[in-house]
Amino acid sequence: MNPARRVLVKLSENRWLREHGPHFRFVRAAASRFMPGENVDDALAAAASLKAAGITTLLTQLGENVTARSEAEGVVAHYLDLLERIRVANLPAEVSVKLTQLGLDLDREFCCSNLTKLIERSAALLPAAHHTLWIDIEQSAYVQATLEIYAQARKSYRNVGVAIQAYLYRSEKDIGALVAMGAAVRLVKGAYSEPPDIAFPDKKDVDENYFRLAQALLAHDARRNGVRAVLATHDRALIDRLIAWAAAQSMPRGELEFAMLYGIQRAEQSRLAREGYRSDVLISYGSFWFPWFMRRLAERPANVWFVVRNLFSS
Ligand SMILES: Cc1cc2nc3c(=O)[nH]c(=O)nc-3n(C[C@H](O)[C@H](O)[C@H](O)COP(=O)(O)OP(=O)(O)OC[C@H]3O[C@@H](n4cnc5c(N)ncnc54)[C@H](O)[C@@H]3O)c2cc1C
């Protein structure tokens, strides 16, 4: 991993910075590039304007590693309310959650029952075209538990999806199992700092693995088995390569689904929607944004200059 990236991911885990970083005005100004605001109203307004451009959304309230059951219960109550607000506003939006936000560090059964409430409410309130409840994938220490919880949930519910990180060696095998289940999978490169014995250290190997895993998810048999593949990347070369490959398989454009983060590659998000591909944008909101923002800096260390510019202009 690029050393600048490693330092930024480490800083995202620093307790002092997590608490104090958000109080600096120039940091808040820089973070606003990646989120429409801290409130759910800001996120819903952004989702409505993306809808007008033919772009669907994924909504997530920032937060991870809750340390009290009451906190996790508050998160569940928030998402239950959010699902109702998505229904009322008639938005093509799905919800994405982190299991550590639902209490995975506290009690696995408690976390699973919280997840079940959200999956059931999503199915009950939202139209089948967009009622998947997504599970984010976190650091490698949580991957096994996340996939076990996913497999368990998938036995009872079809409207649940999970993210998979192309940087992990294990993901090839995990994708095989998910394809066999006919799962909904959001493929990402991976946002954390992982050691070379479990993750490809070189970016070009991650990119190549992403392409291979995407091919496995988009294969004719996988799609026939009900797999929904969401290709979450801003990598234009990779997107063009996947589009060319899918066209060579005579795959209809509407079956290719791409996802990006709010505020990144906006022109590309619109281009994909205009050209008939499914284009999703993940909108994050909430007050606990510091570690998430640092991971966004780590993905593109040049973003640090953006923070520095805000320091001098604030
Ligand atoms: C919808 C969505 C959901 C995600 N969910 C998860 C998850 O559950 N778990 C997880 O570990 N990771 C998740 N990620 C993050 C992901 O793992 C990567 O860290 C992130 O997407 C950057 O990788 P990339 O595929 O865009 O490719 P890269 O090769 O990193 O980037 C390609 C190009 O995109 C642009 N770009 C990428 N990131 C940024 C940025 N932050 N700021 C400005 N430009 C940028 C740059 O031009 C860069 O050259 C998610 C990403 C998306 C889009």
Atom of ligand 1 nearest to the CA of 136: 8
| 205: annotated active-site residue | no
What's the CA-to-centroid distance between 238 and ligand 1, angstroms? Answer: 12
Q: Is 190 in the pocket of ligand 1 (CB under 6 A)?
A: yes
Task: Report the percentage of the chain scoring pLDDT > 90.
Answer: 77
The band of 63, judged by pLDDT with boundaries at 50, 70 and 90, is confident
Poorest-pLDDT segment among 29-38, 59-68, 133-142: 29-38
Of the residues 162, 261, 268, 305, which should be mutated to test ligand 1's pocket, given the most ligand atoms within 8 Å of the CB?
A: 261
> Residue 98 pLDDT > 80, yes or no?
yes
Residue-wise DSSP of 280-298: EEEEEESS--HHHHHHHHH
In terms of pLDDT, which residue wins out, 301 or 106?
106
| 97: helix, strand or coil | strand
Which one is catalytic: 186, 228, 295, 296?
A: 186
Q: Where are the alpha helices (DSSP H) in the chain?
A: 3-12, 15-20, 25-31, 40-52, 69-89, 108-125, 143-156, 171-181, 203-218, 220-224, 236-248, 266-274, 290-299, 303-313
Is pLDDT above 60 for 314? no
Check: CB of residue 66 under 8 Å from CB of residue 105.
yes
DSSP for 227-238, please give it: -EEEEE---HHH
Query: How far apart are the C-alpha atoms of 213 and 216, rounded to whole Å?
Result: 5
Mean pLDDT to the nearest integer, 116-124:
98
Minimal-distance CA residue to ligand 1 atom 9: 137
68: left (phi over 0), alpha (psi -120 to 50) or beta: beta
Asked whether the beta carbons of 105 and 141 are under 8 A apart, the reply is no
Collect all residues with Cβ–Cβ distance below 8 Å to 214 and sequence separation of at least 6: 187, 229, 231, 242
Q: How far apart are CA 189 and CA 208, in angstroms?
A: 10
Catalytic site residue 136?
yes
- The string of pLDDT tens digits covering residues 176-207 is 999 999 999 999 999 998 999 999 999 999 99
- The answer to whether the Cα torsion of 42, 48, 52, 53 is positive or negative is positive
Number of neighbours of residue 113 by Cβ within 10 angstroms: 13
**Residue of 5, 121, 136, 174 marked active site:** 136
Residue 1: predicted pLDDT: 64
User: Which atom in ligand 1 lies closest to the alpha carbon of residue 96?
Assistant: 8
Contact 161, 230 (CB under 8 A): yes
Name the closest-CA residue to atom 17, ligand 1: 190
* CA-based end-to-end distance of the chain: 32
Token pair for 65: 């590693």
What integer is the mean pLDDT of 231-246?
97
Q: Is the CB of 183 under 6 A from ligand 1?
A: no
- Between 79-93, 111-125, 283-297, the lowest mean confidence (pLDDT) is in 283-297
Q: Is the CB of 298 under 6 A from ligand 1?
A: no
Side-chain-facing half-sphere of 112: CA atoms under 13 Å: 15
What's this model's pTM, rounded to 2 decimal places?
A: 0.93
Closest CA to 222 of 181, 186, 187: 181
Task: Tell me: pLDDT of 297 over 90.
Answer: no
CB-based burial label for 23 (10 Å; 0-12, 13-18, 19+): exposed
